[in-house]
Amino acid sequence: MTHSYNVAILGATGAVGSELVQLLEERDFPIKTLKLLASSRSAGKQISFKGKAIAIESVTAESFDGIDIVLASAGGSISKEWAATIVKAGALMIDNSSAFRMDNAVPLIVPEVNPEAAKTHQGIIANPNCTTILMSVALWPLQQIQPIRRIVVATYQSASGAGAAAMAEVKQQAQAILNGEKPPTKSFPYPLAFNLFPHNTPINDQGYCEEEMKMVNETRKIFGAPNLRISATCIRVPVLRAHSEAVNLEFEQPFPVAEAREAIQAAAGVQLVEDWNANYFPMPIDASGENDVLVGRIRQDISHPMGLELWLCGDQIRKGAALNAVQIAELVVAKSWLKTPATV
């Protein structure tokens, strides 16, 4: 008999939380009960799951009693606030925030890349940053053939990365600008419609923002390559959903383009999208709603004999967040890694 699990979503009303509900149904995750948790202002609202209406509940200390898996997507401060309670209740917390990603005791998992690391969890597994996940899935097939020496990446990040309110705001901004009015700026410090700007996270002494350093540090941890040289430039662009990345890679030896294409085509979680005659390559509009990361425009770097260039697009809310979390849940139940070694 197939096991079923008591699952809770912490932050069920946000963009990622809503996607988690949809994916659990879409992928037919073996759920016994589903509990939807959010702030008190959302309590009582209902969300449909498999044809039934489930009422949203406020989070309390008793919310996690009897729960097997908590999919947390309510922000770092909320995750930190409830993590100890969740683990003490015997549940596994799969956390979508940055709260525990660089904690040495917490595995940081992309199932296509480092699934085995998940079994070492002590009650918490971290979901990486969206841009890190998308890049990791695309580069891992190449990393397995020939270790990457250096990554230089520029991201083109959609409004979805800042949540549902930010996506709505970009639409409002576009309408306001077209009407000759001043655009509203609540989710972002500047208008994003018809504009772009560097990612609005704090900047360190070296001039790199927090988002860029997430890509550096998280990729090293996921790849198990602490000395991998990475430089990132993260940019917000006026796209509603799905992030894009231009990636320049350096290897120890030349990496034939044909071999790279074959590796991408054979890998899980990625699709090769290239029509050179039509100049058709991955686009956010095509990646939106898709589970796979779209990769294309793979070419030799003409400035470096050991260099490759590629372009990728991926749905930030799906593979960049909710899907990766659900895949982690699928992994731990399939491998019977749900409980920590001390509680098995």
CATH of the domain at 250: 3.30.360.10
Residues 143 and 276 in one domain: yes
What pLDDT, on a 0 to 100 scale, did the predictor assign at position 164?
Answer: 85
Percentage of residues of the chain with pLDDT beyond 70: 98
Structural domain contains residue 226 = yes
* Cβ-proximal residues to 8 (8 Å cutoff; 6+ apart), any chain: 34, 35, 36, 37, 63, 64, 67, 69, 70, 71, 91
Catalytic residue among 199, 234, 243, 313: 243
pLDDT at position 40: 80
Q: Which domain holds residue 327?
A: 5-128+321-334
Residue 344, in any domain of the structure: no
Does residue 263 sit within a domain?
Answer: yes
With beta carbons less than 8 A apart as the criterion, state whether 70 and 94 touch. Answer: yes
Band (210; pLDDT cuts 50, 70, 90): very high
CA distance readout (Å), 261 to 45, 91, 162: 47, 41, 32
Q: What is the pLDDT of residues 235-291, one digit of tens each?
A: 999 999 999 999 999 999 999 999 999 999 999 999 999 999 999 999 999 999 999
Do both 99 and 168 map to the same domain? no
**Residue 243 falls in the annotated catalytic set:** yes
Do 114 and 146 fall within a single domain?
Answer: no
Looking at per-residue pLDDT, the higher value among 144 and 41 belongs to 144
* Residue 13 CB partners (closer than 8 Å, separation 6+): 38, 42, 45, 47, 56
Query: What pLDDT score does 1 carry?
Result: 46
How do 124-126 and 229-236 pair as beta strands?
Answer: unpaired
Alpha-carbon distance 7 to 45, whole Å? 18
Are 42 and 120 in the same domain?
A: yes
Q: Are residues 143 and 274 in the same domain?
A: yes
The tokens 């991955």 sit on which residue? 282
Is the same domain home to 80 and 216? no
Q: How confident is the model at residue 41 (pLDDT cuts 50, 70, 90)?
A: confident
Residues 309 and 209 grouped into a single domain: yes
pLDDT at 205 over 90: yes
Q: CA 286 to CA 305: how far, in whole Å?
A: 32
Token readout for 306 is 């050991």
In a shared domain, residues 123 and 151: no
Bridge partners (DSSP) of residue 94 are 71, 125
Q: Per the domain annotation, does 15 fall within a domain? A: yes
Same domain (yes/no): 232, 111:
no
pLDDT, tens only, 59-96: 999 999 999 999 999 999 999 999 999 999 999 999 99
User: Would you call 87 helix, strand, or coil by DSSP?
Assistant: helix
The DSSP H or E segment spanning 219 is helix 210-223
Average pLDDT over the chain, rounded to an integer: 95
CA distance 134 to 270: 9
* More confident site: 45 or 142: 142
Residues 37 and 87 in one domain: yes
For the ranges 128-132, 162-166, 274-278, 299-303, the lowest mean pLDDT is seen at 162-166
Q: Quick one: tokens of 84?
A: 């100890």
Q: Which has the closest alpha carbon to 181: 193, 167, 168?
A: 193
Residue 339 belongs to some domain of the structure: no
Please give the pLDDT value at position 344.
39
- Give the domain CATH number at 98: 3.40.50.720
Q: Supply the pLDDT for residue 340.
A: 63
Beta strand extents in 60-201 (DSSP E only): 69-72, 92-95, 124-126, 148-157, 197-198
Shared domain check, 166 and 96: no
Q: How do residues 122-158 score in pLDDT, each as one tens digit?
A: 999 999 999 999 999 999 999 999 999 999 999 999 9
57 domain residue, yes or no: yes
98 within some domain: yes
What tokens appear for 293 in the block? Answer: 């990361």
Does 341 fall in a domain?
Answer: no
Residue range 188-217: average pLDDT?
A: 96
Indicate the pLDDT class of residue 39, thresholds 50, 70 and 90: confident
**Residues 188 and 48 occupy one common structural domain:** no
| E runs forming strands in 73-147 | 92-95, 124-126
335/324 Cα distance (integer angstroms): 16
Overall domain count for the chain: 2
Q: Residue 161 pLDDT more than 80? A: yes
Sign of CA dihedral 222, 316, 96, 34: negative
Radius of gyration of the chain (CA): 20
pLDDT of residue 337: 96
- For residue 48, pLDDT over 80 is answered with yes
Q: How far apart are CA 135 and CA 113, in angstroms?
A: 11
> Considering 130, 199, 234, 313, which one is annotated as catalytic?
130
pLDDT digit string, tens, across residues 94-116? 999 999 999 999 999 999 999 99
Active site residue 3: no
